[in-house]
Amino acid sequence: MDAELEKIADYIRSEMAYEGDIAPDVDLLDEQILDSFSIVQVAMFIQEEFGIELEAEDLNRENLATLNNMFTLVNSRRSN
């Protein structure tokens, strides 16, 4: 797994007390690893950890449901 994906996964495991592996394409909301409150925490972590600014339109299920989608979001914000 990419180091940046692993940082996000480590944060989720730590903050949400989730002990399992997190596959990059697993839907974290469907699997109840994250909920609506914790997804906001993850978004704040992503901003701080990767030095990016997320816009309101970035904070949607599609962008934040999987590690791969979060990684794509980070990369798209870095290029702006």
Residue range(s) defining the domain that contains residue 70 = 3-78
Residue of higher predicted confidence among 2 and 13: 13
Query: For residue 41, what pLDDT is reported?
Result: 96
| 17: its two tokens | 């007390």
User: Residue 79: which pLDDT band, with cuts at 50, 70 and 90?
Assistant: confident
Query: pLDDT tens digits for 21-46?
Result: 999 999 999 999 999 999 999 999 99
CATH label of the domain that carries residue 55: 1.10.1200.10
DSSP letter for 79, please. Answer: T
CB neighbours of residue 21 within 10 Å? 9
| 16: its two tokens | 């949400």
How far apart are the C-alpha atoms of 14 and 34, rounded to whole Å? 12
Q: What is the mean pLDDT of the chain?
A: 95
User: How many domains does the structure of the chain reveal?
Assistant: 1
pLDDT for residue 1 is more than 80: no
Query: For residue 25, what pLDDT is reported?
Result: 97
Which positions ≥6 away from 26 have C-beta within 8 Å? 33, 66, 67
User: What is the value of pTM for the model shown?
Assistant: 0.91
How far apart are the C-alpha atoms of 7 and 32, rounded to whole Å? 20
Q: Determine contact, residues 27/66, Cβ cutoff 8 Å.
A: yes
